Amino acid sequence: MDGTYSQNDLSHVVEADKAHVWHHLVQHRGFDTKDPNIIVEGKGMRVWNQAGKEHLDAVSGAVWTVNVGYGRERIAKAVYDQLLRMNYFAGAAGSVPGALFAEKLIEKMPGLSRVYYCNSGSEANEKAFKMVRQIAHKRYGGKKHKILFRDRDYHGTTIGCLSAGGQDERNAQYGPFAPGFVRVPHCLEYRAADQGAPTQHYGEWAADQIEQVILREGPDTVGALCLEPVTAGGGVIVPPDGYWPKVQEICRKYDILLHIDEVVCGVGRTGTWFGYQHYGIEPDFVTMAKGVASGYAAIACCVTSERVFDLFRDDASDPMNYFRDISTFGGCTAGPAAALENMAIIEEEGLLENTVAMGDYMLDQLHALADRHAAIGDVRGKGLFLGAELVEDRETRKPVAEAQAQTVTADCMAQGVIVGVTNRSVPGYNNTLCFSPALIATKDDIDQIVSAVDGALGRVFG
C-alpha cells in the first residue's frame, strides 16, 4: 500500500463503516464478531484491505465488473479532464463523450444503432422493458406486452427486474411483482435430468420449451424474450449447442423482440465484445453496464436496432409518440468518458485475444482440478467467465450445501484469492464457484487462483 492512510485513519474508517454503512448482500450480524473488509487500494489484478493484506481478485470487484483491472491512470485522467470541462447536463441535451462513445460502441455491434444512456444494469433493463411495453401499446393495442424471462437468469434489483427474475431466493420476500412477466425453463445441460429432458439434442429441447410457453400464453400476447447470453449469477450457464439458432428462429416466427442482457458478458468478458456475438444471433435490444467502464464510473446502456428506434419516431404529430423516459444520471459525462478509454485499452492491449487464450487455459486447469476433486461435478465457461459446480456425489449430482461452498471461498480468501459463488436458483443450489478475473489475467494469475481452490477443496472435502 502507498501509505496514504495511517493505521489510525483506517481504524476510524472501520468504526465509521460499522456504525453507519449498510453493506450489500450480507447479514450484518456477521460484523458483530468480524470487521468488514474495507478495500483500500487496487492495482492490476490485486487489491489491498485495511490490514494491508494483498488479494488476487478472481471476480473483478465481486461482481464481474473491473474488466481492465485496477489503477488505470488513463481512465482516471480522462474522467478528470472531462469533469472539469463539463460534468453533467441531462434531458434532451447530448454530450461530447456521449456521442463519441455511442459511435465507438455501435462499431462493435453490427445491426444495432442507438444507445440510450442510464446508470445501472437494472435501469438499462427497465428501459428495454418500457420500450417493449410502449411498442405493445402503439402497435398492438397493449396486447403484445408480455416479457418472457428464463429460470436462473437475473436482470436486476428493481421490482420490474425482479418480476423478470429467475432466481427465486432473491425474489422471495419482495413480491407482489409486476404482471406480464412469464418464466421459461433454464438451459443448464448438467441439470437436464431434473427437467425430465432427453439426453440427446438438449439445446433444441430447451429452446422448444420457450416455444411451448409462447404457445400456452398466446403468441399475440408475447412482446419480448429477455435472456442472458451466458447466465451469470444463476450458475455460469453456457447455453448448449443448438439453443441459440432455435431461439432466434422462434423470435422471428412469432414476431417477438429479442432482448439480450449483456450486463455481465458485455465488453469483452467472454472473449468477444458481446456474449451474443458467439452465437450469430441478431438481438433487438442489448443492455450492458458493469464492464462498460470497468467500474471507473457508473454507466449503463440500452442499445437498440434502428427498427426499434424508428417505432418511436413514426408519427411526430402525436405528442405521446416518443420514449417518455429520462435517467437523471444518464446525463453524467464521467461514464462515457471512462468507457471510451476502457474500450481503447481493450483494443490497444489485445484484451479480447488474451481473454480467449487465458479463458481456454483456465478451463483446462479447472478440468484438471476436477480430475483430482470429486466434489467438482461440472466445469463450464466462456472466455474469462467460468464456473465449477460443487456436488456431494457425482452420480446423483446432489449439490453441496451452500455453507460448504462458502467454506471453500472463505478458505481461498484466507489464502489471499477472492473467488465467488453464484446465487442459487432453488434453495440449496448455491454451489457453483465463479471465476471472472480481469481480462489482463496472466497464466501465473490463473495458476495462483486454481492452486488456492485446489488447497481449499482438499481441506473442505478431503
206 touches ligand PMP (CB under 6 A): no
Sign of the dihedral defined by the CA atoms of residues 290, 291, 296, 301, in that order: negative
Sequence-distant (≥ 6) Cβ neighbours of residue 74 within 8 angstroms? 341, 345
Sequence-distant (≥ 6) Cβ neighbours of residue 78 within 8 angstroms? 337, 338, 340, 341
CB of 274 to ligand PMP, least distance (A): 13
CB of 273 to ligand PMP, least distance (A): 16
CB of 281 to ligand PMP, least distance (A): 17
225 touches ligand PMP (CB under 6 A): no
Bridge partners, residue 183, by sequence: 149
Of residues 131, 256, 289, 379, which one binds ligand PMP by CB under 6 A? 289
C-alpha cell at 74: 488513463
Count of residues of this chain found to bind ligand PMP when the rule CB under 6 A is applied: 16
Element (H, E) at 87: none
In angstroms, rounded to a whole number, what is the distance separating the alpha carbons of residues 460 and 462? 6
Of residues 120, 163, 327, 423, which one binds ligand PMP by CB under 6 A? 120
- Strand 285-288 to strand 300-304: parallel, antiparallel, or no bridges (unpaired)? antiparallel
232 touches ligand PMP (CB under 6 A): yes
Element (H, E) at 170: helix 168-171
DSSP 201: S
Element (H, E) at 409: helix 402-414
Of residues 61, 121, 165, 275, which one binds ligand PMP by CB under 6 A? 121
Of 239-247, 256-264, 342-350, 451-459, the segment contacting ligand PMP by CB under 6 A is 256-264
154 touches ligand PMP (CB under 6 A): yes
Looking at beta carbons only, is 112 or 128 nearer to ligand PMP? 128
Closest CA to 57 of 364, 301, 381, 417: 417
Looking at beta carbons only, is 167 or 409 nearer to ligand PMP? 167
C-alpha cell at 344: 481503447
352 touches ligand PMP (CB under 6 A): no
CB of 194 to ligand PMP, least distance (A): 22
Of residues 263, 388, 391, 405, which one binds ligand PMP by CB under 6 A? 263
Looking at beta carbons only, is 227 or 251 nearer to ligand PMP? 227
DSSP 118: E
What are the strands, taking DSSP E only, across 75-135?
114-118
CB of 372 to ligand PMP, least distance (A): 30
Burial of 456 (0-12, 13-18, 19+ CB in 10 A): buried
157 touches ligand PMP (CB under 6 A): yes
Of residues 228, 284, 341, 411, which one binds ligand PMP by CB under 6 A? 228
264 touches ligand PMP (CB under 6 A): yes
155 touches ligand PMP (CB under 6 A): yes
122 touches ligand PMP (CB under 6 A): yes
C-alpha cell at 268: 469483452
CB of 439 to ligand PMP, least distance (A): 17
446 touches ligand PMP (CB under 6 A): no
Looking at beta carbons only, is 122 or 248 nearer to ligand PMP? 122
In angstroms, rounded to a whole number, what is the distance separating the alpha carbons of residues 218 and 443? 51
CB of 183 to ligand PMP, least distance (A): 16
63 touches ligand PMP (CB under 6 A): yes
442 touches ligand PMP (CB under 6 A): no
Closest CA to 323 of 137, 104, 109: 137
CB of 167 to ligand PMP, least distance (A): 10
DSSP 90: -
CB of 63 to ligand PMP, least distance (A): 5
In angstroms, rounded to a whole number, what is the distance separating the alpha carbons of residues 456 and 115? 44
Looking at beta carbons only, is 236 or 453 nearer to ligand PMP? 236
Of 38-46, 70-78, 116-124, 391-399, the segment contacting ligand PMP by CB under 6 A is 116-124
Angle between helices 334-348 and 73-85 (to 10 degrees): 150
Count the helices and strands in the chain (H runs, E runs).
13, 16
C-alpha cell at 269: 468478458
The residues of the shown chain that bind ligand PMP, judged by CB under 6 A, are: 63, 120-122, 125, 154-157, 228, 232-233, 261, 263-264, 289
